[in-house]
A = this chain, B = another copy of it.
Amino acid sequence: MTLEPAAVRASVTVDEVKAAIDTAMGRRPGTRLLQGARVMNVITYDIEEADVLLAGRLIAGVGAAFAHADAEETVDLGGCWLVPGLIDGHVHLESSLVAPAEYARAVVPRGVTGVACDPHEIANVAGTAGIGWLIDASRGLPLDVWVTIPSCVPSSPLETSGAAIGLTEIADLMDHPRVVGVAELMDIAGVTAGNEEVLAKALVSEMFRKVTEGHVPAVGGRHLAAYLAAGAASDHESTTLAEGLEKLRAGCFLMVREGSVSRNLDALVPLLRSSFADRIGFVTDDRFPNDLLDEGGVDFLVRRAIRLGIPPAVAVRCGSWNTARHFRLPRRGAIAPGYVADLAVVDDIERFHVRAVYKGGRAAAADGRVQWAMPPLPQAGAAMRGSVKLPDISVSSFRLGAAGTRVRCIRLVPGQLLTEQIWIQPRCVDGTAVADPERDLAKLVCVERHGTRGGTGVGLVTGFGLRGGALASTVAHDHHNLMAVGMQDGDLLVACRRLEALGGGFVAVSGGRILAELPLPLGGLMTDQPLVRVRHDLDALDEAARGLGVSVPSPFMILSFLGLAVIPELRLTDFGLVDVVAARVVPLGAEP
C-alpha cells in the first residue's frame, strides 16, 4: 500500500491532515492560536466569539473546545472579526497589466486569498505556452490562482490571434490540479447554432468533474435555455435584476461583477437579500491598475455590499464560501476544522477594513503590506518575450484609398464600450483619405503583431479629441494586435516601431518623439514591474495624451477595445473594418 497517490493531487497531504488531527486531539501543540476573535461562520451566518487553533496549513479547531489550547504562538485578535479569505470567482489577471505576484501584492493585504482566473488574453497571444507561464508565475504566492481554460481563442474568425485553443488543448490542460474548468463560453452564436466543436468544449470539463463557465449578456427566454443546455454553470454578465433572477431560476450560479468598466452590484443587490443568496458569487472580471490600488479586488464587492445594507456574513459568503462551492474547491471558503487556514482579520466590519491576512496558516499581510517572500518571476519563453513581431510596415501601410467618396468612420460613444458606425466625407490628400484634427477624425490602424498573417487594417475614428501625434497599444481585446490612433502617419509608424522594440506596451508619440510609454514585455500585455510604477507610467501616458488634445478619459483603455469584433457596431481588426452586427469585414467606402 502506498500513501503517495492521495497526497499528489489532493489539496492536502496525509501528513498535514495527521498534524491537524493530532493538534485537535491535544497530542501536539498548534502552530498558532488566534484568540479573542469574532469568528464569522459563513455557512450558518453567525458570529461566535471564539479561538481558532491552527496546525500548519490547516485549521485544527474553532470554538470553546480550543480556548487556551497549547500553541507555538498565540495572537490576540482583540475583538476583531475573523473571516475566510476572499475568493474572486472570475478575473482576467492580465487586465492588471502586472504579473500574478504583483497582483497578489495588491489584493492579498485586502483579504483576497484566491482567484479563479481566465487567462484569455495571454492565451490569445501565446496559446498554451502563455497559460503554462501564468500557471508557473502564480506558484508559491500568498494567493491561490485557480485557472479556467479559455474556450474561445480566437474570439472571432475576423481577426488574427497569436494562437488557437482547440478541444485537444483544452482536454490536455483540464487535468492540471489547479485547473478548475473551462472558461467563459463566449461563443453564444456557436452554442445556440449547435456547433459541435463548441459543444464539445463545453462538455469536456465534466469529464474531469470540473465546471464550464458561462458568458451570456442580455440573453433570456429560448436563447438562454438553448445556451444553458450546453452546460455552462455560471454567468457573470447580468446587469439587471430581472436578468439575474431569470438566470438564477434557470440554474446559473450568478456571479455579480464590479469590474473597472462593468459595475453591476447595485442593480443586483436585492438578490443578496433573497433566500437563495447561496447561489451568488462576487467577481471582478477586469480591473485596471488604478482601481486595484484605490478600490481593491473582490474585497471591493464585499465592502460595497455591506455599505448597501447587506449583512456582512452574507456579503463575505458571496466572496468566499459560495464561490468555493461553485468551483468544488475542497477545504476552502469557510473557517472550519480541516479547512485551509486562509483568513482575514477585519478591524472594522462596516468598512470591511482588513488588518492582517493569513494564507495557509502563515502570516501573509499586515497593515496593507504583504509579508511574504515572493518567488522570482519564472523565465518567460519566446512566446512571452518578444511577442511583438510586426510585418514590414512603412507609412504607406497606413494609406487609405477612397478619395472623394463617403466612408465609414468609427464613432466613440461616451462612457460605453459600444461604438457607432457613421458615414463621413474625409479630407483627401494626393488621392487618399487622411486624418483631420479640425474635425476630430483620426486614423486608426491595427497591425497584426503575432508574426503570422502580417495584415494591417486601417480606418478612421472620431471621438478621441486628438489634435496631433499618435497613441498605440499592444493590449487590444481579444486578439491583442497592435492598435494605434494618430493624426500623422509618421507618428503612427514611430509608435508601432517603439512598441516592437519594447516587446509591447503603451506609447504616446508626437513629432517623431516618444512622449511617454509603459513597456509590457510579457506577451505585450504585462510588465514585470510593480503596480505603482505602472500607475505612474499610465498617469504620464494619460497626461501626454491630454497634451495631444485627447478629451476622453482612459484613452488607452478605449483604444484597447476598438479591435474587439464582438461588441457592436463598427470595429477594426488586422482584417480591416468589421461590421459586428453583420459579422463580416466591410470596405471603407460604400460597397459597389
Contacts from A to B (Cβ < 8 Å): 1-3, 5-12, 14, 17-18, 20-22, 24-26, 41, 43-46, 58, 60-66, 166-168, 171, 191-192, 194, 196-197, 199-204, 206-210, 221-226, 228-231, 233, 245, 248-251, 274-276, 278-279, 325, 328, 330-331, 334, 336-339
Contacts and interface: CB of A to CB of B under 8 A. Distances in A.
B226 A24 contact: yes
Contacts of A229: 17, 20-21, 24, 58, 60, 337-338
Given A61-B222, A207-B5, A230-B338, A196 B18 contact: yes
Nearest to A209: B209
Nearest to A11: B206
Nearest to A201: B6
A330 B251 contact: no
A208 B207 CA distance: 11
Given A61-B225, A166-B1, A330-B231, A43 B338 contact: no
A260 B330 CA distance: 33
A206 B9 contact: yes
A207 B63 CA distance: 30
B41 A225 contact: no
B1 A168 contact: yes
A225 B337 contact: yes
Copies of this chain, tallied across the complex: 2
A3 B62 CA distance: 48
A22 B230 CA distance: 11
A62 B245 contact: no
B251 A43 contact: yes
Nearest to A20: B229
A18 B206 contact: no
A336 B18 contact: no
Nearest to A321: B251
Nearest to A191: B21
Contact of A228 (B191, B209, B279, B337): B337
25 contacts: A1-B197, A6-B167, A6-B203, A6-B204, A6-B206, A7-B203, A11-B206, A12-B203, A17-B203, A20-B226, A21-B191, A21-B226, A44-B245, A45-B275, A58-B229, A62-B250, A64-B221, A65-B225, A225-B337, A228-B336, A249-B336, A250-B337, A251-B339, A275-B275, A278-B278
Nearest to A276: B44
Nearest to A4: B200
Given A6-B206, A233-B330, 12 more contacts: A3-B200, A5-B204, A6-B199, A10-B207, A17-B203, A17-B230, A18-B199, A21-B191, A25-B223, A43-B249, A226-B337, A251-B339
